[in-house]
Chain A
């Protein structure tokens, strides 16, 4: 429920940003994508970071060029 409420808040933030950046017509066209991103952002931010148990140094799983 908390994530759902946060998702609604993120949707409002993203939609407002879209209106300011791309105009209201484009913002309306983006509604489904904005909703999906709001849910994703809320889901991601619901997981606390833990710098005690996990190294503060990032070694992200990114491209390790072994070619």
Chain B
């Protein structure tokens, strides 16, 4: 079983094609592993045991007839804000009905078409905001796994599933990926479909992927976006990277020191790494993000808050209430600035293959919070693709991660850069909880 739970996304259809593996035995192994580990980890809100086994058996019959799909037999966990037909979407919010979703979200339908097996729904913070989910960090159960895609990050790290999908409105894919020691990839805004996903702030919401290698991120992303015609440059030599000093100054000393060491490794491997400052103040970018996010949350929850005020977690309720007080002039101003800042940062990012910064200001903090969103929210505001790659451990044995960011729409190029960087970085062992 140990070998099966370690399989990468890419290996699974290959082994099925070579008749070395069946989808059913893989699903059974992962379900057993979840049964053993999840009472402590609490990554899963709902497991569709029967549905997953039924689908795995169907895929095995298909493979016997010679058809093996790109994600054939790959078990996937979906954050519990994403609709899966036949399962409830509870989002950690009691007023949402237990009534099963009538249809799959578009991303789920696409994953199924590609041969993925839906294992179930992973825990989210309430409605994908900041009130902590029950999930523990597999590296230290007293630390947060990050949020809001808490269960998705923890499940992939704990080898409960090789692929999970989450959402990010501020930092909810990259931060849990960093805290849990897995790869988190947030493609450009709008590049993965959000139909059938509960919104938090609709102009900022992104879907993102959790996997255990950049190769897997690229494999899944290309499979999902195979119909897109993207004319993007491939990486033919070591990348040129912009090391963002602004974020080193905001990071905890151990994180800043780690990133400087990462940059040194990249330089020694041939990359051109230049220390640079953003052309705009990080504080302004975060202010624009904060105004837009809370204004949209306030609008979205107007009626629900009136009907169910006591169902809201304290952080979500406060944010929604404050969002309803924002003057329209401030929101319109923020939206104009978002456009200006996006153009400025696009010109800045065009000078190199990618920007380089820590994924988070520090390692995973305690479970009373989901962590610091500043290092990820900037890129969510701008809609640029961003990826978090595990890059080391703290002295206390918690994961540290390196973030790479590219221009809007340059997702595949970013994945090439990240693959190069990943080869230079030391891989992490499985977390202690496994």
Contacts and interface: CB of A to CB of B under 8 A. Distances in A.
B156 interface: no
Contacts, number: 102
Contact of B203 (A29, A59, A62): A62
B94 interface: no
B202 A44 contact: no
B318 A30 contact: yes
B337 A47 contact: yes
Main secondary structure of the interface of A (DSSP, over half): helix
Interface stretch (B19-27, B120-128, B144-152, B191-199): B191-199
Contacts of B342: 61
Interface in B180-225: 188-194, 202-203, 205
B333 interface: yes
Interface string A29-43: 110011011011101
Contacts of B286: 40
A47 to B, nearest CB: 6
B189 A63 contact: yes
B319 interface: yes
Nearest to A29: B318
Contacts of B382: 61
B324 interface: yes
B321 A58 contact: no
Nearest to A39: B287
A22 B321 contact: yes
A21 to B, nearest CB: 7
B290 interface: yes
A40 B290 contact: yes
Contacts of A60: 203, 335, 338-339
A36 B333 contact: no
A25 interface: no
B325 A17 contact: yes
B258 to A, nearest CB: 29
B429 interface: no
B106 interface: yes
> Among the interface residues B283, B287, B338, B383, which one has the most CB atoms of the partner chain A within 10 A?
B287
Given A34-B322, A61-B408, A43 B287 contact: yes
Contacts of B330: 41, 44-45
B104 to A, nearest CB: 14
21 contacts: A13-B327, A17-B325, A18-B322, A33-B322, A34-B322, A37-B291, A40-B286, A40-B287, A40-B290, A41-B327, A43-B284, A44-B291, A44-B330, A45-B330, A47-B284, A49-B337, A60-B339, A62-B189, A62-B203, A62-B383, A66-B188
Interface of A: 13-14, 17-18, 21-22, 26, 29-30, 33-34, 36-37, 39-41, 43-45, 47, 49-50, 54, 58-67
